[in-house]
Structure 1
């Protein structure tokens, strides 16, 4: 177990919370993947970028404009998604209507790698 994972588990245990085991990058259970990235994709759809700096600037501008209600709404969606995943015995993935290739074509006019 990684040190930061162990520390997080100790903290959660101190709250008296039950911790469910799940894959660290489960598409059903990672709140940021669902709330942040679906909203970001909707915002960025149709915008063309030719250099990394343009992408980074637009993402930062978008992020700074998010209100607290955005994050609260995302947090409120977690429980129903976890419940569905538990009911389906972990065999549940929310389907996205947009494919990765469609997203990448809508973001970039040229092919390049993002540096983060």
Structure 2
């Protein structure tokens, strides 16, 4: 069964193009050493178009067990604090919401990201130890 090209896969490949260009500008040695990308099994990520893009540039994908959404940093680290920040707020327009989201992201401390990156190794090890089963915090 072949997967059809979805607009979401095209958009994701465009995002990967922008990421590749940013890496080329800011850390070109990473492109020579090889990029290892973590994403989940969402349709845009597993689409043929995306898989072809990844093969063309030789980017490696860390496998993502189907029942371990907590390996995605957004699931285990980002959404909780963001939900707490937005709790009780009401927005009249989508632009107001976008403005608040930008404010929140712009004001995150660098340690917010450092903690999540440093925890990935132990979370992956737990997943390996559990043979791909769900990883609790």
Partner of residue 65, structure 1: 107
**C-alpha separation between the residues in 2 aligned to 1:34 and 1:57?**
24
Give the TM-score, by structure 2 length.
Answer: 0.52
Higher helix share: 2
Residues 55 and 32 (structure 1 numbering): CA distance in 2 closer, same or farther, change over 3 Å? Answer: same
Contiguous gaps of at least 5 residues in structure 1: 13-18, 96-116
**C-alpha separation between the residues in 2 aligned to 1:24 and 1:5?**
20
Residues 89 and 24 (structure 1 numbering): CA distance in 2 closer, same or farther, change over 3 Å? Answer: closer
8 Å CA contact retained: 1:31, 1:74: yes
Which string of whole-angstrom CA distances, capped at 9 and with x for unpartnered residues, describes residues 57-97 of structure 1?
A: 110000000122111111112122112211221111548xx
Contiguous gaps of at least 5 residues in structure 2: 1-47
Partner of residue 100, structure 1: none
- Higher RCO (CA-CA < 8 Å; seq separation 6+): 1
For these two proteins, the number of residue pairs brought into alignment is 88
Partner of residue 71, structure 2: 29
Partner of residue 5, structure 1: 54
RMSD: 2.7
